[in-house]
Amino acid sequence: MYKVLVGEYIDDEAIAGLLKSDDVEVDVKVGISRGEILNIIHEYDALIVRSVIKVDKELLDKAKKLKIVGRAGNGTDNINIPEATAHGVIVANTPDSNTVSACEIAIGLMLASARNIVAANNYIKSGKWEREIFVGSELFEKTLGIIGLGRIGSLVAKRMKAFGMNLIAYDPYISDEIFKRNGCKKVETLDELLEKSDIITIHTPKTKETVNMINAENIHKLRDGVRLVNAARGGLFNEEVVAEGLKNGKIASFGYDVHTVEPRSECILYEFENAVATPHIGATTYEAQRNVGTQVVRQVLNGLRGEIVETAVNLPSIGREEFLIVKPFINLAEKLGKIYFQIEKAPITNIAINYYGEIAEQETALVDSTAIKGILEPVLKEEVNYINSKSLAEKRGINISINKKDHKYENYSSAIEFIINNEDGKKVNVVGTIGMNNEERIISLKNYNMDMAISDNMIYLGNDDVPGVIGAVGATLGKKNINIATMNVGRRENSAIMLLTVDSEVSRESLEELKRLSQIKWAHYLDLTI
């Protein structure tokens, strides 16, 4: 039974989800004092916070059982990430909880400013009726420049593609595959985007590189009559420069939800009817508020149960769509990793993880961490997790290399290969792939080619390549009431291996029976649930 402390408010529906879990005991202590949380945190496996509770070294030193901290929101300023990582504690936030809401406010501002909706609304409510003074501009076939093609920028791209817009994007930190997937032409420089766009929307964090991206030095690069949208962070576009552009007609309109100073009652932009402003309401939807709670609960439960925490900030960051692509390989890598210490006992000196084909084109850092966790877990048990696996390996003197190959492994579209060297001078290699319906498959083990689905319970045999072996193995297991589900044979010269999936656990006694067969050189039971 895991104990979860909810120290700050989350949605009632999210709390209900926690309470329904059979393996979780929940204490809701909204508004808990610093002194109290320090006195009781040693009892808990998980902690849920928003922005008030400080998760610092003092708290983490006392949190002896803590496995995960869930931040109900995006920012993690109140959490000491390096200290949490050093303590082996996963920190997860909810970056996707408001992505749709943020995307939709950006599109709403784009439409409102292009069609003069706010000005027309105010005009008609003042008792007047005219249409000619509110001539707007269609979005159809206009070029939309997207600065930042992350979670929100990608959503905007997909939706505006349906409007028939031409999409270009600038993001030096995103792979070419993401541009293709979102139907965006990649531009190599910000200047190129500024020069080619009819409408520009920005979706980046606020950093030294992104502050004042539209400034006095580059405003002349904009097309005449360009329309700007900022629903990301205040200050990404210089407000004074934008105001001057609105005044002289360089900028046709500006839609913005975020401000350099918040809250505020005065702004140079307020005097312009073609500047449409909202008071930072991008995440202010019923859905977003509910999603914050339900998402943080889901991530916390995943962390407690040893499953992948998609939004862990002290694990490699990955977008939801990218995660869906690599997720099957994450699970595959962990299972393949668990094989080594079940067939060899010597300490490891080197681990090489090789990616082939399409998977080599993806961000695989999360797969790397998971693979190493899988390799070490049969020995280290709960001591190893997704965030500390690499550091634990390095502390044990294990050299790790990650290699992306620009070719396929034989005829497989994607494959992962582990090559593990040990202190006895032996080398163990195992290769796996994802088949139809996301089926996890082993395609090579110790340089013996095969192709079979991975099961929780497997038997790995080395045997003489002579008649009668398969029958003898089947008969032996049959006597022990162990049913063989599938069998695959790998052959090389005069030797062979057999890999069997079975419907139940295999006892030590049953394994010894197999070893006593004259044709069998070795026998290992592979339990991939450990």
> Which of 130, 132, 188, 262 does the annotation list as catalytic?
262
Give the DSSP letter string of 169-231.
EE-TTS-HHHHHHTT-EE-SSHHHHHHH-SEEEE-----TTTTTSB-TTTGGGSPTTEEEEE-
Q: How far apart are CA 95 and CA 152, in angstroms?
A: 10
Is 271 annotated as catalytic? no
Q: How far apart are CA 14 and CA 293, in angstroms?
A: 5
Q: How far apart are CA 129 and CA 122, in angstroms?
A: 11
Is 262 annotated as catalytic? yes
Residue 470 burial by Cβ neighbours in a 10 Å radius (0-12, 13-18, 19+): middle
Helix 320-337 to helix 365-380 angle, to the nearest 10 degrees? 30
Is 220 annotated as catalytic? no
SS3 276: strand
Strands 440-445 and 520-527: unpaired
Strands 457-464 and 520-527: antiparallel
Structure tokens of 306?
Answer: 């040893």
- Of 98, 113, 74, 99, nearest to 278 by C-alpha is 113
> Which of 115, 159, 280, 320 does the annotation list as catalytic?
280
What's the number of CA atoms in the CB half-sphere (13 Å) around residue 205?
A: 8
Task: Tell me how many degrees the CA angle 471-477-480 measures, rounded to the nearest 5.
Answer: 145
- Of 406, 460, 453, nearest to 428 by C-alpha is 460
Q: How far apart are CA 452 and CA 456, in angstroms?
A: 13
Give the DSSP letter string of 415-453.
EEEEEEEETTS-EEEEEEEE-GGG-EEEEEETTEEEEEE
Catalytic positions: 233, 262, 280
